[in-house]
Amino acid sequence: MSRSNGIPQATVSRLPLYLRVLAALADKQVTTVSSKTLANQTGVHGANVRKDLAHLGTLGTRGAGYEVAVLLSAIAAELGVEEDRPLAIVGVGNLGRALAQYAGFSSRGFRVAGLFDNDPVKTGELIGGIRVADPSTLADFATTEHPVIGVIAVPGHAAQGVAEAMVGVGIASILNFAPSLVKVPMGVLVRQVDLATELQILGFYHRHREQPSEPESQCPSPHSSTPST
Amino acid sequence: MSRSNGIPQATVSRLPLYLRVLAALADKQVTTVSSKTLANQTGVHGANVRKDLAHLGTLGTRGAGYEVAVLLSAIAAELGVEEDRPLAIVGVGNLGRALAQYAGFSSRGFRVAGLFDNDPVKTGELIGGIRVADPSTLADFATTEHPVIGVIAVPGHAAQGVAEAMVGVGIASILNFAPSLVKVPMGVLVRQVDLATELQILGFYHRHREQPSEPESQCPSPHSSTPST
DNA sequence: CCCTGTGAAATCCTTCACAGCC
DNA sequence: GGCTGTGAAGGATTTCACAGGG
């Protein structure tokens, strides 16, 4: 067992997108899709959709297309949607709250298991059924809940300290929303998301407005990627 | 004048990163950097840093390195940081609030000019000096403020409607945080950011844990890109 | 005809390696 | 010596184009 994976990064970053579109189709009782339809709804080129899906196995049938249910379960399996992965979120400002209450996590195999903030006004508060605790209790929390992923939602200057605390309690994957790079020992995965960065990139293309050109008259839009180390 | 731009997408997506690191260096009174230092602090390969910066002109001096001030102003000019670009944010949930109060925007040439939410409980509320208004007043707002960029921070099912309203009042660039694809007429730029997607990508690499390998023992981390339309 | 799966071509991006300058 | 700027090599990803099955 376990030829770990040979799925290209670019494909991985699109799997959540396919998952979302397919879930919407399943909701509408659609049972079958073609790569063309998926292409229209995701903004990914049709051939690219097929290549991506081919990485997960031979899922389609030649004349017909793909069964929505088959694709859904294949992608869900790849992304671990069926698992129950406890999250620790540190920083309960507006962003932390938004994340804590975000319904999209639980339906994708994540469970917000712990909320931490060093502001005494916030500790003790109940958010989505979780009581906000002081970060000093992170170690205790980790021994009982074994969180696998940590989410940093604190101001930039505090991010490095939080990251180190997370690594210290055995968290090996970190999603960092703070606008500041964190350094971690090798072996720890960090993924950086910065809201201002996204806005600046959009702003750049807005200034240098120069249609990258697209044939379709209506066009959905891609998004983001590149993992870490 | 105006040979629009030949800056590769990958470079554009790193400019905000450089800007941030350089601003931090300038704060520390550092006047000079080498590509190696920038590489260490950004996680981008040294040669790549140099190629990126070369796209903005000949900014360095051979034996010495780069002047922080020169790089800062070159990148700032490219990203339009000196401008005053009004933003309209629709959706004042936790995420919308976080965005509205995010200090990082104003220092990067953006100004939150309008906040909108169709929840009557929220309209009238003051956030960061801006009064939350009903989305039906978006058109009036647009005629006086001329927002160039719209930010969607509403639940997924409402995103398409908001996008259409934005396009209707002349907004040509949209940053969409809703977990749902929006279709827009061609010519409109959309950039999609989904918090759950980022978490899922991180989760994938967590499951298929297989070090992508890196020589350094401490490693910062890249982030995200790809534009739209 | 319909569609998927896939080699081959094309494009984009990163890394190497070094010439040229301080 | 150190360091930038850059051609050339190497990878990765996207797109094309079509073979092959329904």
Q: Which helix (H) or strand (E) holds A39?
A: helix A35-42
> What single-letter amino acid sits at B43?
G
Establish if A229 touches chain B: CB-CB under 8 angstroms: yes
**Percent share of chain B, pLDDT over 90:** 84
Q: Which residues contact B207 (CB under 8 A, 6 or more apart)?
A: A80, A83
> Using CB atoms, which residue from A94, A221, A225 is nearest to B97?
A94
Q: For residue A24, give Cα distances in angstroms to A33, A76, A156, B91, B221.
A: 12, 14, 36, 22, 33
Residue numbers in A near B223 (CB within 8 A)? 191-194, 197, 224, 226
Q: Measured in Å, how far apart are chain A's first and last C-alpha atoms?
A: 25
> Using CB atoms, which residue from B7, B110, B203 is nearest to A109?
B203
Q: Say whether the CB atom of A47 is under 7 angstroms from strand D.
A: yes
Whether B51 has a pLDDT exceeding 50, the answer reads yes
Give the 3-state secondary structure of residue A118.
coil
Closest-CA distance, B49 to chain A, in angstroms, reads: 16
The nucleotide lying nearest B37 (C-alpha to C1') is D3
Instruction: Compute the average pLDDT of residues A3-32.
Output: 92
Residue numbers in B near A77 (CB within 8 A)? none
For residues B226 and B30, the model is more confident at B30
Report the distance separating Cα A112 and Cα A102, nearest Å: 9
Listed residue (A8, A11, A14) closest to A221, CA to CA: A14
Tell me the whole-structure pTM to 2 decimals: 0.90
Q: Which residues contact B225 (CB under 8 A, 6 or more apart)?
A: A201, A224, A225, A226, B9, B10, B12, B13
Question: So what's the pLDDT on residue B186?
Answer: 87
The nucleotide lying nearest A47 (C-alpha to C1') is D15
Given pLDDT bands bounded at 50, 70 and 90, which one contains residue B210?
Answer: low
Question: So what's the pLDDT on residue A224?
Answer: 41
Instruction: Compute the average pLDDT of residues B216-225.
Output: 40
Q: Say whether the CB atom of B61 is under 7 angstroms from strand C.
A: yes
Residue numbers in A near B186 (CB within 8 A)? 211, 214, 216-219
What DSSP designation does B43 have?
Answer: -
Closest-CA distance, B144 to chain A, in angstroms, reads: 20
Q: Measured in Å, how far apart are chain B's first and last C-alpha atoms?
A: 26
Residue nearest the C1' of C21 (CA based): B62
Report the distance separating Cα A34 and Cα A48, nearest Å: 13
**Mind listing the pLDDT tens digit for each residue in B9-21?**
999 999 999 999 9
Instruction: Compute the average pLDDT of residues A98-114.
Output: 93
Can you name the residues that pair with A116 across neighbouring β-strands? A90, A133
> What single-letter amino acid sits at A135?
P
Establish if B198 touches chain A: CB-CB under 8 angstroms: yes
Report the distance separating Cα A154 and Cα B140, nearest Å: 36
Residue numbers in B near A42 (CB within 8 A)? 181
